[in-house]
């Protein structure tokens, strides 16, 4: 199987689409995963008849494909309890207005599904947000009722959005991630159960967010394989520092005192060999999208090196048992 290797555009949001496309093509990528906060304008896609042809023409000019768009920032605003950080994810006119931000986000996510359909895509990646993330540590005491209420809240806010996704024939691929309602193995299991395993909701599998929490990324991929609708390749490096804890100590990404940091592919501890084997076993033929994040490396050098690494690990499944020739 030949899986496309694409680049998630969000970390290159300061570059215009054509400039980024030219760079990505020169580096040898197969395509781009376009972020809605950076390189794919949902409202223009729906209301400007020239916009989608423009985006497609740019991709075609540089021999690139797009098989998914990402709406992480919008999705965060759907499920979160507001604080001032969300003002950076919503239109400036809504800053400081929690209800208006949530209403905008819900409508924008519905429109994202419609825009994806118009663009010819069937997968939107993103976050859900979480109204109970601040309660992950049970002090002050977090009751089971509080947790149930949080999952119920996500169910109530996202179900009407998923109805529109279904109407459009588009699936939502959640990136399991700290600050989301599903941030590890058991919360992911709980979320799928709350949605009665609704097929609309699946995963944008990103192993980097699991490993530093102590969740085995290969086991996660194996157990949730049927729900993997998209894959992010991102690496994380664990460091031996007896002073550091996994919660980060409010040290910024890239600070070498941290217990862990996101790093360019191949520089960390993610078992990509094991992951590819699980993806092969599950017949996953979607893209491998490199989400490049490394505060200690030039991003163009990192994107180039990450692509080379991804090409090496993107091996196909065997079509025959290795010991077949040993039989008489």
Using the predicted structure, report yes or no on whether residue 159 has a pLDDT greater than 70.
yes
Question: Is 328 within a domain?
Answer: no
The pLDDT, as a whole number, for residue 320 is 73
Average pLDDT estimate for 261-288? 98
What would the pLDDT profile of 204-231 be if each residue is shown by its tens digit? Answer: 999 999 999 999 999 999 999 999 999 9
Provide the whole-model pTM: 0.97
Total tally of structural domains belonging to the chain: 1
Question: Is 325 within a domain?
Answer: no
Bridge-partner residues for 238, per DSSP? 260
What would the pLDDT profile of 125-136 be if each residue is shown by its tens digit? Answer: 999 999 999 999
Dihedral of CA atoms 286, 302, 221, 138 in degrees, nearest 10, equals: -130
9 close to 20: Cβ distance less than 8 angstroms? yes
Question: Is 327 within a domain?
Answer: no
Question: Is 324 within a domain?
Answer: no
- Looking at residue 192, which CATH number applies to its domain? 3.20.20.150
Question: Is 108 within a domain?
Answer: yes
Question: Is 209 within a domain?
Answer: yes
The pLDDT, as a whole number, for residue 318 is 83
Using the predicted structure, report yes or no on whether residue 313 has a pLDDT greater than 80.
yes
The pLDDT, as a whole number, for residue 327 is 65
What would the pLDDT profile of 96-120 be if each residue is shown by its tens digit? Answer: 999 999 999 999 999 999 999 999 9
> In terms of residue numbers, what domain contains 163?
5-319
User: What does the mean pLDDT of the chain come to?
Assistant: 96
Q: How far is CA 174 from CA 25, 184, 230, 310, in A?
A: 27, 12, 9, 22
């Amino acid at each position: 199987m030949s899986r496309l290797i694409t680049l998630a555009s969000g970390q290159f949001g300061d570059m215009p689409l054509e400039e980024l496309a030219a760079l990505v093509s020169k580096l040898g990528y197969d395509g781009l995963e376009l972020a809605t906060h950076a390189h794919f304008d949902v409202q223009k896609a729906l209301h400007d008849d020239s916009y989608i042809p423009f985006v497609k023409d740019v991709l075609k000019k540089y021999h690139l494909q797009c098989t998914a768009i990402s709406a992480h920032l919008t999705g965060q605003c759907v499920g979160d309890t507001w604080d001032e950080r969300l003002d950076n994810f919503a239109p400036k006119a809504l800053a400081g207005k929690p209800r208006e931000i949530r209403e905008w986000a819900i409508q924008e996510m519905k429109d994202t599904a419609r825009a994806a359909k118009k663009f010819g895509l069937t997968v939107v990646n993103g976050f859900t947000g979480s109204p109970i993330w601040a309660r992950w540590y049970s002090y002050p005491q977090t009751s089971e009722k509080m947790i149930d209420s949080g999952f119920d809240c996500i169910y109530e806010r996202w179900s009407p959005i998923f109805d529109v996704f279904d109407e459009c024939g588009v699936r939502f691929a959640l990136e399991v991630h700290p600050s989301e309602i599903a941030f590890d193995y058991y919360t992911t299991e709980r979320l799928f159960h709350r949605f009665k395993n609704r097929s609309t909701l699946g995963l944008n599998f990103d192993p980097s967010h699991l490993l530093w929490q102590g969740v085995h990324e290969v086991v996660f991929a194996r157990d949730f394989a049927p729900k993997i609708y998209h894959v992010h390749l991102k690496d994380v490096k664990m460091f031996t520092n007896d002073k550091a804890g996994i919660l980060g100590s409010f040290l910024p990404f890239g600070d070498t005192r941290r217990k862990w940091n996101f790093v360019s592919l191949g520089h960390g501890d993610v078992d990509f060999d094991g992951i590819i084997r699980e993806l092969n076993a599950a017949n996953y033929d979607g893209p491998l999208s490199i989400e490049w994040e490394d505060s200690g490396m030039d991003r163009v050098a990192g994107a180039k090196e990450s692509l080379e690494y991804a090409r090496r690990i993107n091996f196909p499944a065997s079509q025959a048992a290795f010991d077949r020739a040993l039989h008489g």
